């Protein structure tokens, strides 16, 4: 059978997709042992995991980008889950990092705006998961700042205020939320979760992957395996199995 004929006979295969939208902690999530890579491995043959992490971005910029990433006409129908994971940059101290800093009230408003946009393109709140920024290990991050000739430009207590705002937005909007800031500090020495005081270590990636999967599993467990297992293909008549 010619390929064109096979294509005409078979329906276009559209993989459902999970969109990971966030800052550098999302962008780096497909590195070795990353939380995004772990999620993609769990969902292989069922769902595409799409990395839309943008290093250094805050919610002020993210809300402008989101409508260019997910639209009603092209991708909303197949999008089965979206994570929104911002705050590590928004919570930077205004006097020391004005470019990335976003005031707390605006941060919350931006998250609400992104949720409202997703709902407007038919991605319901039960498919949206907010993720708070992780805690900041100040002494380790200060070393990173000093190495670049800067002062410590973030504080864990400030990051915690943004995490609380993120949790409140989720409550107000009816979405799920993963409160990393609180969960990671249940282990009093949370430094092992961070590679440089701000970004995730291998252990932190593993922790996030497990926490996120516990929330996504019930949403995605019903997704079927795409295309039959190879032993189930009729080798005498593969078209009957595959088209």
Taking the C-alpha atoms of residue 81 and residue 129, their distance in angstroms, rounded to an integer, is 8
- The active-site residue, picked from 29, 90, 179, 199, is 199
Q: Does residue 101 have an active-site annotation?
A: no
Q: Does residue 235 have an active-site annotation?
A: no
- The active-site residue, picked from 122, 126, 172, 196, is 196
- The active-site residue, picked from 24, 75, 191, 192, is 24
The strands making up 128-131's β-sheet, listed across from edge to edge, are 48-53, 17-22, 79-85, 128-131, 176-178
Buried b (16+ CB within 10 A) or exposed e, 194-214: bbebbbbeebbbbbbbebbee
Q: Is 233 in contact with 189 (CB distance < 8 Å)?
A: no
Pair of tokens at residue 185: 């500090």
Q: Does residue 172 have an active-site annotation?
A: no
For residue 7, CA distances in Å to 234, 235, 243 come to 19, 19, 8
Pair of tokens at residue 123: 């991605």
Task: Give the residue numbers marked as catalytic.
Answer: 24, 196, 199
């Amino acid at each position: 059978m010619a390929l064109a004929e096979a294509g005409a006979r078979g329906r276009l295969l559209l993989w459902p997709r999970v969109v990971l939208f966030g800052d550098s902690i999302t962008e780096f999530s497909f590195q070795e042992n990353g939380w995004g890579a772990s999620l993609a491995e769990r969902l292989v043959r069922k769902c595409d995991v799409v990395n839309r992490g943008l290093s250094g971005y805050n919610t002020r910029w993210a809300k402008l980008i989101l409508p260019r990433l997910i639209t009603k006409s092209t991708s909303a129908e197949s999008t089965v889950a979206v994570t929104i994971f911002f705050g590590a940059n928004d919570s930077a101290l205004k006097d020391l990092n004005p470019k990335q800093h976003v005031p707390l009230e605006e941060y919350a408003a931006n998250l609400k705006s992104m949720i409202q946009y997703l709902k407007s393109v038919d991605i319901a709140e039960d498919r949206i998961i907010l993720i708070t920024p992780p805690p900041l290990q100040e002494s380790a991050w200060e070393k990173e700042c000093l190495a670049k000739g800067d002062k410590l430009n973030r504080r864990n207590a400030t990051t915690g205020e943004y995490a609380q705002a993120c949790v409140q937005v989720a409550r107000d909007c009816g979405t799920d939320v993963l409160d990393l800031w609180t969960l990671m500090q249940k282990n009093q020495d949370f430094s092992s979760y961070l590679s440089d005081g701000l970004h995730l270590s291998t252990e932190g990636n593993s922790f996030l992957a497990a926490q996120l999967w516990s929330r996504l599993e019930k949403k995605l467990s019903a997704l079927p395996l795409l295309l039959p297992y190879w032993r189930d293909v009729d080798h005498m008549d593969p078209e009957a199995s595959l088209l």
